[in-house]
Chains A and B, each alone.
Chain A
């Protein structure tokens, strides 16, 4: 399987050192990591900020209490501009890595999270417009059933 990737980029209204700290200090990660509806308790977060160091955390569903542990490791730590962490295949998630870059824009910081999937990369091929439309259509039909 070939590698597939996906990039999310956003400019944050904060200087780079602050953004870097938000990504690397457990107390801060606990405040924002994960999608809405999931909380990442501080006591589940382990950050050993060096290449080969562990990056572990567990997201907990606010609604059901279901736990989603992530067992990752840093592969690159270049303060304050680059952070790379990777994981083996686990709980429905193929092996992959995320490369996070922090670009200094003065008072602001551009953060880019570049995801590379190594095992379930077919999903990205399937994510083209045609696939989305077909799947949406299927989902609509299914919802009516």
Chain B
């Protein structure tokens, strides 16, 4: 995934309201009003969040002009989760390998 897209994905995920929306969409598609119902904000405010999520590739909107239901785009979320996990993994596993390497180096010395 290109850097700019990944940046958009993560800044979209950084907002608690947007994560609530994603959690709701994980249960199935929903319209803007359905998504707005449990949230303490106006429809336009929710629409704004949906635009951010759409630009970030995390959701897509249906073609039906009346309802335009929102759906989660699972791939993007998985890629984002993998990337995030990668950070932790990089150092944990590099350090494991470094420990093994240092053992070998020292055994070679004795």
Contacts and interface: CB of A to CB of B under 8 A. Distances in A.
Majority secondary structure of chain A interface residues (helix, strand, loop or mixed): mixed
Interface string A62-89: 0000000000000000000000000001
Contacts, number: 117
Nearest to A93: B3
Nearest to B104: A31
B101 A32 contact: yes
Q: Bin chain A's interface residue count.
A: 35 or more
Contacts of A119: 3, 7
A131 B19 contact: yes
B107 to A, nearest CB: 11
Given A92-B3, A120-B10, A131-B19, A141 B26 contact: yes
Contacts of B14: 122-123, 125-126
Contact of A32 (B6, B7, B94): B94
A134 to B, nearest CB: 5
A6 B89 contact: no
B34 interface: no
Q: Bin chain B's interface residue count.
A: 35 or more
Contact of A12 (B19, B81, B98): B98
Interface of A: 6, 8, 10, 12-14, 18-19, 22, 28, 31-36, 89-94, 111, 113, 115, 119-120, 122-123, 125-127, 130-131, 134-135, 137-139, 141-142, 145
14 contacts: A8-B92, A10-B95, A10-B99, A13-B102, A13-B106, A14-B102, A18-B102, A18-B106, A22-B105, A115-B87, A135-B19, A139-B77, A141-B27, A142-B78
